[in-house]
Chain A
Amino acid sequence: MSIQFMILIIYFLFIVFLGLLAVRKVKGSEDLLVAGRKLGIMFVSVSIAAEYMGGLGTIGTAEVAFNQGMGVIWYHIASSCGLMLFGFSFAHYYRKYNVITVPEYLYYLYDIKTWKIASVLNVIGYWFFTVIQMTALGSLISSVTGLNLQLSVLICGLAMTIYLLAAGMWSVAFTSVAFMFTIGTGIPVAFWWVMQKEIPLLSTSAGMAGYTGLANALNGASLDAITLLSPFSLGGMAVLGYFLGGVLGIPAAQATINYSFGARNWKVARLAPVLAAILILPLSIWTGSMGLYARAAGLTDNPKLALGATLMNIHPVIGGIGIAGIFAALISTVAGILFGCASIMAKDIWQRWLHPDTDDHYLSRWTRLWILIIGISSAFGAMSLPKILHQAFFVYSIRGALMICVAFGIWWKRAHPDAAFWALTVALIGGIMYQFNLPINFQTYFKLHISVWCALLSLITFIVISMRSQWTIQTSNELPPFLKFRKGRRQ
């Protein structure tokens, strides 16, 4: 058994233990779903940052750096801007209405049909996304441990479900602190080791450490060090894509922002995302540099393995700590997405829509049951179907359309419920057409990324329908079922 594997096992058990430790904090459904709205700034900001640093932010950024150089730093700069935008301009609106889910806020802004379609789209999108992220987690585990891919996916999925079942958002908040500590020490320590100890060992680095040695080594490998170490190595369109992704993706992404809903008060809810933006910013420096090292040292030909190859080829203890950091980044994202999906499923679809007479005690049970159902089905899904499900990844790009609905609902007084409903529907239909090339190949024809395409469609739909519609008293005079039930209950 390798040292890296042992470090990972110990860490894994520690995380599950930490998640279970939070169980005594849970007394009702509100404790489970939004940690009783008692989270302080440390828990909220660290949970948001840990959720946001997933496979794309670690293995993905190393892969881009391996191919195209350090322009990848814009990924986290753009994400930081998205988080800042959320803290500055959105968090207090959500907090004002004490929402638990994003679709619920759409209900306050628009009407029932918008809330229903947003709930369904969110659940489907996050369910698929859970499966895809579980596959990524399983492949990291199997590459380190040598275990069968399917078995590693299953073990990770089940362990995550167990600790989420214990205490919901409290579990995530408790474990996020450990995750953040691991990400914030493991990855930079491995980065430091690579820069100071490994690079001078390369014959092409002329015995120099740090970026001087890395530049020498890149030149020695017949690569252009000046371009690869330039912040503009990706070109303008890629950077624009990162910014669109960060800005459109974050302010309506349930899994990332639901920790802000659990904040102690509105001040914490606004400040924490801004702090999280500071926490995530340096990540791509560390992962990107290690990706470039893998290229300069010729550790692998597969860019996807750049980070893993670097960590497996350095000092085993330092590499093991680094792998634990990557593992923490992946597992915190899966936990966040699984939890966000189960929250919407249990609260919006199950309780408010289908069973408005469910009381608090049963809601806790149902929330746990939905965590179990989604967790286990995703683990099995990740074992068997990842290739097919990658096709369904586009559902996730619907969150750009959600963000458009939220932003217009807050700031444009002509924003109309019909416009919101159709903007979401059109984004879904447009996304399906794009993904399956119906009737033409949109990607080659329009040269747009699917999320930009969906956002553009929903933006146009939203504006056109809003301009043509008028608010009337009858626009949305249906009293929603969950408010009927809540009448006369505690505030």
Chain B
Amino acid sequence: MSTYFPVFLQLDLTIWGILILLFVGFTIYISNKPANFIEKSKAQAIENKKRLGIKIYRLR
């Protein structure tokens, strides 16, 4: 006697597995970034704004 395993459950569990893999991959990616990465990218954003002639707001 075989147990019925519906298609929606297979699909949901597959997607769950993919999400978990993405999370693991993203964790590895994030942890390899330097801690000051965000400040560097903020400095870059301000440079870009200067180049485009966009007003730069004073940030706190």
A473 touches B8 (CB 8 A): no
Pick from A88, A265, A471: contact of B52, CB below 8 A: A471
CB of A477 within 8 Å of the partner chain? yes
Report A70 CB to chain B, min CB distance, Å: 4
Using A73-B11, A84-B22 as known contacts, say yes or no to A477 and B55 having CB atoms under 8 A apart.
yes
A403 vs B17: C-alpha distance when bound (angstroms): 28
CB within 8 Å of B: which A247-292 residues:
265-267, 270-271, 274-275, 277-278, 281-282, 284-285
Q: What are the residues of chain B within 8 A of A473 when measuring CB–CB? A: 53, 55
Report how many residues on chain B are interfacial, defined by Cβ distance under 8 Å.
35
Report B27 CB to chain A, min CB distance, Å: 6
Per-residue CB contact flags for chain A residues 463-485 toward chain B (1 = under 8 Å, else 0) read 00000000111011100100100
**Which residue, B33, B41, B52, B57, has most C-beta atoms of chain A within 10 A?**
B57
Q: What are the residues of chain A within 8 A of B23 when measuring CB–CB? A: 271, 274-275, 277-278
| Chain A interface category by residue count | 35 or more
A230 touches B57 (CB 8 A): no
B30 touches A271 (CB 8 A): yes
Which B residue's beta carbon lies closest to that of A70? B8
Using A278-B20, A281-B19, A491-B60 as known contacts, say yes or no to A71 and B8 having CB atoms under 8 A apart.
yes
Q: What are the residues of chain B within 8 A of A282 when measuring CB–CB? A: 12, 16
Q: What are the residues of chain A within 8 A of B7 when measuring CB–CB? A: 229-231
A277 vs B20: C-alpha distance when bound (angstroms): 9
A211 touches B53 (CB 8 A): no
Pick from B6, B31, B54: contact of A211, CB below 8 A: B6
Report A141 CB to chain B, min CB distance, Å: 30
Q: What are the residues of chain A within 8 A of B37 when measuring CB–CB? A: 266
**Which residue, A71, A215, A278, has most C-beta atoms of chain B within 10 A?**
A278
CB of A108 within 8 Å of the partner chain? yes
Report B46 CB to chain A, min CB distance, Å: 11
B6 touches A471 (CB 8 A): no
Per-residue CB contact flags for chain B residues 1-38 toward chain A (1 = under 8 Å, else 0) read 00111111101100110011011001100110101011
Per-residue CB contact flags for chain A residues 357-374 toward chain B (1 = under 8 Å, else 0) read 000000000000000000
Using A278-B19, A278-B23, A285-B12 as known contacts, say yes or no to A483 and B57 having CB atoms under 8 A apart.
yes
B38 touches A92 (CB 8 A): yes
Report A236 CB to chain B, min CB distance, Å: 15
Q: What are the 5 closest A-B residue pairs judged by CB atoms, nearest first?
A: A231-B8, A212-B4, A70-B8, A229-B6, A266-B38
21 pairs of residues in contact across A and B, judged by CB atoms under 8 Å: A73-B12, A87-B26, A229-B8, A231-B12, A266-B37, A267-B33, A267-B35, A270-B30, A271-B30, A274-B19, A274-B26, A275-B23, A277-B19, A278-B16, A278-B19, A284-B12, A285-B12, A413-B48, A471-B54, A475-B54, A487-B58
